[in-house]
Structure 1
Amino acid sequence: MQQHLLRSTEENLTLKTLCRKFSNGALIIHENPVRQVGGKKNAPHLKTTAYHFDVLDVDWINTESSFEADFVLVTTLNPSVSAIYHQRATLTLSNGSTYTPDFLVIKNGRPTIVEVKPHKFTVKEPWSKLFEEALSICETVNVRFEVQTELQFRVGNLHKRAEYIAFCARLEFTSEDILLAIEEVSKYTDGMTFDFFMRITGLPKILILKLVASRHLYLNDALEYEDCSMIYSSPAY
């Protein structure tokens, strides 16, 4: 898979600013990926995937495993996240070696360095010691460091719900139906159920999911879309 480069537009000013701010020291942030996708010598079998989401300020997001792919799908639906960059941060550890976490996430306008790992690896050496040192380095420069596992992005089939919502983003509806859906939900400041929405509009559930993917509407943190689940209007719209 070819490496995808960033768009050269004002949308990347946050990343460019971070690159200038963290250009030396124990944490360095890079404008382009640190290494080529699929370049892990000890894991050449891992599946690579590239995602594009219109709601994010980045052209392509590369992933190198199903865990990384699921993390990206779920994180993209978080309205506080504006960008997800693959392998943009390098940490220099106390022993002189370097460590490149999986993602740089821009959340509420601030950087978060994220490592995605199966939970079973996070509780044993050498990973637990590595993550402890990475957290210490990031805290020193006022950057958040997180380790995300299946306990966060696969609980309750959260990743499957996010995958289906991403699929619905590609579905086509008339502008009239889209506007009607947004207007009807916006009338209810405390939200409405899917069942109530479908009864008063005659529109299908998949239209709501398309609008969730575009962040015109949003669901609860579990991304539930059963008939009794709630739909909320986005403050941005």
Structure 2
Amino acid sequence: KQRGIIAGVEVARIVFELLDVDVVESIADGSAVSAGQAVMAVEGKAKDILMAERTALNILARMSGIATVTREMLEKARKVNPSIRIAATRKTTPGFRLFEKLAVAIAGGDTHRYCLGDAVLIKNNHIAVAGSVSKAIRLAKSVSFTKKVEVEVRSVDEAIEAAKEGVDIIMFDNMKPDEIVIAIKKLEELGLREKITLEASGGIKPDNVEEYAATGVDVLSSGYIIHSAKPLDMSLYLVT
């Protein structure tokens, strides 16, 4: 019923097949669709189709809504910064994270961390406990060499402090675009920019994504693409 990016076709296929319903035709995940376009065609007993209907539609609608917003923001951001990535966060629906992150990936986005063990991300509460950005980073570096270390910063000074400690990724957390530009310029002047991945996060939405992309960061992470994505309006019609 709406234009958008389709995601969840293969997951919905599993739902139907578990109930002995055959998927005879489908479009590929990641496809752009217009209003009124068919996504799948299935065959089976009416009772089995109806039993699978709501679960399959909920998955398709939710994942497609996320994919649509992700693709929209990615295309906007790359108009001003062709190499930038749009990443998800862990602000996901309990029990449904795998599918929500999959929808982001299908649309061309980056899944970021799936769980806490994927990388070390030092946040403001960790810094408060450790006593400073530098102390928190030194503690974090005691983990295996296989884990990247990322730190959230909220000022230009914190960004420089983190860079001097040799972190892999700096996340500008809830900093305004003009503040991020100043921070990047300072890092460049000190010869600290080249080896660090720079990420901006906090309140990034479709209406300001281009402004953040233009700052020169490498990654924009946004909770919006999952927690604020509206499900795509979809229906199943039975033909007898």
More helix by share: 2
TM-score for the superposition, normalised by structure 2: 0.30
Instruction: Determine which structure has more spread, i.e. the larger CA radius of gyration.
Output: 2
TM-score for the superposition, normalised by structure 1: 0.30
Which one scores higher on RCO, CA 8 angstroms, separation ≥ 6?
Answer: 2
